């Protein structure tokens, strides 16, 4: 019997040979062990760019050829459940207990249906070249100070790659209020203005460069033309291959008294709609197996690019600096988890916000005007 698993590649990752190999390495052990328990089952994975996943699942479902399991971000899984592209994931009480309630809440709809089973969390970090940045900046002030001494910093112009700095500058609460449809207070608005002003100032620095996407940042750090970038933990594999032990990882710089707000990406397993009875049973068995503490721990330690969703898995933070950083990044990002789902629900809104940020960064519009425009966009989204 064959169990088909469709895997959505996180944004910023090209589907190439390296990515395919890297993914195969990530799950090889999991599938190998599962295969020993179910020798008659072949688990067949297919990678899709996440931006195309919805359309592919929809088309394959119409033909009866849809996947049995879908590995995607939590918000995409919510959207799939809402659109009827996936079935609700049956989780019993014991399984629910194993998962951090905050993670479960990210994939539950208003009727209490579970859109997917949390699997792993990719965190947003700072990646740097140790040869050029011996001590990573802990605050935004330090970051700009380091650029003055020669550190070349790369920042992404897409909203997901910039929003972490809103937390550091006190802009997050205003953005969150506006995203909930509320009018931000004067103080909250000032926080947003502060964030936007900082973005403009950063662009004025000689050694700070904004790039259109995360992939450009990753490629330039690997090539040695940048020294410090904001990155996703899913980037670590590729960066390790290029930089080896020179790759340094830290949490994103906080502000003066405010924490950065990284967008950590929860990946979940959702159930397809076309499975036969046996395929459905085996898909659920595979999802449950992947949640086992031992399996989650092995996956985490083997890959060191994500955190486990099972809360009973103890992450060995003392033996691994990368894992310790990811745990810290996860705590740092708890404040922005609600915003993450807003972004996924409002693709057009994100594009409109980016259309405000680009002229702001390049000094075409003033921070105050950009703040008003951003609040307006956030509040008018349904």
Partner 1 sequence: MRELISEVLSWLGYLERGSVQLQLLLLAAVLLGLRLRWTRRWLRRWPRAVAPLLGSAAALLLSLGLQSRSIPAGLLQFLGLSWLGWTLLDLLRMPLLRWLPQQRVHELFSRIVRPLYLLLAILALINQLDSTQDLAVIGIGKLFGIALTIGNISTAVLVIYGLLVASGPPAAALAWLLHRLIGISDGSRKALEIILSYTVVGLGITAVCFQLGLNSTALLAIAGGLSVGLGFGIKEVFSNFISGIWLLFEGSVRPGEVLMLDGDSCEVRKLGLRATLLWRDRDNAELLIPNQTFFTEAATSYTASDRMRRSQVNVGAAYHHDPATVIGLLEATALQVPLVLKQPAPKALLLNYGDFAINYALRFWIANPMNNVAICSEMNQAIWRAFQEHQIEIPFPQQVEYAMTWPPQAHEPNLGNPRT
Residue numbers of the site for partner 1 (CB under 8 A)? 1-4, 6, 15-17, 19-20, 42, 44, 46-49, 56, 59-65, 274-276, 278-279
- What is the full DSSP assignment across 215-280? HHHHHHHHHTS-SEEEEEGGGHHHHHHHHGGGEEEEPPPB-SS-------EEEEEEE-SS--HHHH
**Residue 143, SS3 per DSSP:** helix
Round to whole Å and give the CA distance between 322 and 318: 10
Rounded (10°) angle between helices 367-380 and 186-204 = 120
Cβ of residue 51: shortest distance to partner 1, in angstroms?
12
Judged by beta carbon, residue 48 or residue 306, the one nearer partner 1 is 48
Round to whole Å and give the CA distance between 205 and 137: 16
Judged by beta carbon, residue 44 or residue 180, the one nearer partner 1 is 44
Taking residue 298's Cβ as centre, other Cβ atoms within 10 Å add up to: 16
Q: Per the structure block, which two tokens stand in for 215?
A: 């992939």
Taking residue 324's Cβ as centre, other Cβ atoms within 10 Å add up to: 16
Cβ of residue 112: shortest distance to partner 1, in angstroms?
25
Strands 153-156 and 265-271: unpaired
Q: Give the strands of the sheet with 124-129, arranged side by side.
A: 208-211, 153-156, 228-232, 124-129, 247-250
Judged by beta carbon, residue 70 or residue 125, the one nearer partner 1 is 70
Judged by beta carbon, residue 58 or residue 297, the one nearer partner 1 is 58
Judged by beta carbon, residue 42 or residue 145, the one nearer partner 1 is 42
Judged by beta carbon, residue 60 or residue 267, the one nearer partner 1 is 60
Cβ of residue 220: shortest distance to partner 1, in angstroms?
21
Cβ of residue 57: shortest distance to partner 1, in angstroms?
11
Helix (H) or strand (E) holding 354, with range, is helix 347-361
Cβ of residue 49: shortest distance to partner 1, in angstroms?
7
Judged by beta carbon, residue 15 or residue 37, the one nearer partner 1 is 15
**Distances from the Cα of 288 to the Cα of 91, 100, 147, angstroms:** 9, 15, 47
C-alpha triplet 362, 365, 371: angle, nearest 5° = 110
Judged by beta carbon, residue 107 or residue 270, the one nearer partner 1 is 270
Round to whole Å and give the CA distance between 354 and 53: 23
């Amino acid at each position: 019997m064959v169990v088909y698993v469709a895997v959505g590649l996180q944004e910023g990752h090209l589907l190439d040979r390296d990515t395919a190999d890297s993914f195969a390495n990530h799950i090889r052990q999991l599938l190998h062990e599962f295969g020993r328990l179910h020798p008659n089952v072949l688990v067949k994975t297919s990678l899709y760019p996440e931006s195309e996943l919805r359309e592919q699942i929809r088309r394959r479902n119409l033909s009866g050829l849809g996947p049995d399991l879908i590995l995607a971000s939590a918000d995409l899984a919510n959207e799939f459940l809402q659109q009827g592209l996936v079935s609700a994931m049956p989780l019993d009480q014991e399984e629910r207990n194993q998962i951090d309630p905050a993670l479960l809440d990210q994939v539950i709809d208003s009727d209490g249906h579970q859109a997917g089973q949390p699997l792993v969390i990719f965190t947003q970090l700072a990646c740097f070249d140790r040869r050029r940045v011996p001590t990573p900046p802990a605050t935004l002030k330090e970051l700009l100070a380091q650029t003055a001494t020669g550190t070349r910093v790369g920042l992404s112009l897409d909203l997901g790659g910039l929003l972490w700095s809103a937390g550091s500058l006190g802009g997050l609460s205003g953005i969150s209020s506006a995203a909930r449809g509320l009018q931000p207070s004067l103080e909250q608005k000032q926080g947003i203005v502060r964030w936007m002003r900082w973005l403009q100032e950063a662009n004025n620095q000689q050694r700070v460069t904004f790039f259109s996407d995360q992939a450009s940042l990753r490629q330039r750090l690997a090539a040695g033309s940048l020294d410090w970038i904001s990155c996703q933990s899913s980037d670590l594999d590729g960066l390790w291959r290029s930089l080896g032990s020179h790759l340094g990882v830290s949490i994103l710089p906080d502000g003066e008294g405010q924490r950065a707000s990284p967008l950590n990406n929860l990946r979940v397993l959702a159930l397809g709609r076309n499975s036969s009875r046996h395929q459905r049973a085996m898909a659920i068995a595979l999802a449950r197996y992947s949640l086992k503490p031992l399996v989650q721990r092995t996956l985490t330690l083997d890959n060191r690019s994500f955190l486990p969703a099972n809360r009973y898995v103890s992450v060995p933070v003392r033996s691994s600096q990368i894992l310790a950083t990811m745990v810290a990044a996860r705590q740092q990002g708890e404040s922005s988890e609600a915003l993450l789902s807003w972004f996924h629900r409002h693709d057009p809104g994100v594009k409109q916000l980016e259309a405000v940020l680009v002229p702001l960064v390049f000094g075409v519009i003033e921070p105050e005007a950009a703040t008003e425009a951003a609040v307006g966009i956030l509040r008018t989204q349904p």
